[in-house]
Chain A
């Protein structure tokens, strides 16, 4: 099966500029996640979608970050305006709940953001 596609792979911007990342999950996966991974840390969940509805966005800095998943397939994550501390890898993942009590995530290659 095709994997999780993300673009762009790398992006360098100045602070206060805006940036958008795109993700195409594995076909048929209902759940889509955006994680932020700062260098040397574990992935931190920003937002989780089930189809095109938001399940959890409690850790999304809503004053500058937004995300949408139109039609329950592709998703975009936007940052506007960017801050230096937003420098990180933004990982998209998708999953299809496998029976009871299991949730295997498949990650994309990530989008590395550098804010100068």
Chain B
């Protein structure tokens, strides 16, 4: 079945540094790749997404890259701030018409 692997499971960075989270997927029919941020005790919220016809997308300090050939995509956060501390989930959507989530990455930004 469809599978999304996410790494690392935990990431600790110093404020101002960059953070990178990577995901790989198995379903070649996947064509939409969203990233969700979940703060402690809150609901997941979409922060950025990318479609399969685009290789990179940027929104202020966050960017996502997609390599469809290798079936992997990454989230990049630059100039990290304490409020970036949260759990980040990658996800895929496509052939099965359902959104499959990765296991999550807990990001700690140390002030």
A48 proximity list for chain B (CB < 8 A): 97-98
Contacting pair B98 A56 (CB below 8 A): yes
Q: How far is the CA of A82 from the CA of B43 in the complex (A)?
A: 24
> Main secondary structure on chain A at its contact with chain B?
loop
Contacting pair B46 A104 (CB below 8 A): yes
List residues 63-111 of chain B with CB under 8 A from any CB of chain A.
89, 93, 96-104
Q: How far is the CA of A56 from the CA of B101 in the complex (A)?
A: 15
Contacting pair A45 B43 (CB below 8 A): no
For the complex, count residues of A whose C-beta is within 8 A of B: 22
Q: How far is the CA of A103 from the CA of B46 in the complex (A)?
A: 11
Besides the known contacts A58-B1, A101-B52, 5 further A-B residue pairs in the complex with CB atoms under 8 A apart: A40-B104, A45-B99, A91-B44, A102-B93, A105-B34
Q: Which of B1, B52, B53, B99 contacts A105 (CB 8 A)?
A: B99
B43 proximity list for chain A (CB < 8 A): 91, 107-110
Number of A-B contacts (CB under 8 A): 58
Q: How far is the CA of A7 from the CA of B51 in the complex (A)?
A: 33
Best-surrounded residue of A43, A58, A91, A110 (most CB of chain B within 10 A): A43
Q: How far is the CA of A101 from the CA of B33 in the complex (A)?
A: 9
Contacting pair A45 B100 (CB below 8 A): yes
List residues 15-42 of chain B with CB under 8 A from any CB of chain A.
31-32, 34, 36, 42
Q: How far is the CA of A34 from the CA of B51 in the complex (A)?
A: 24
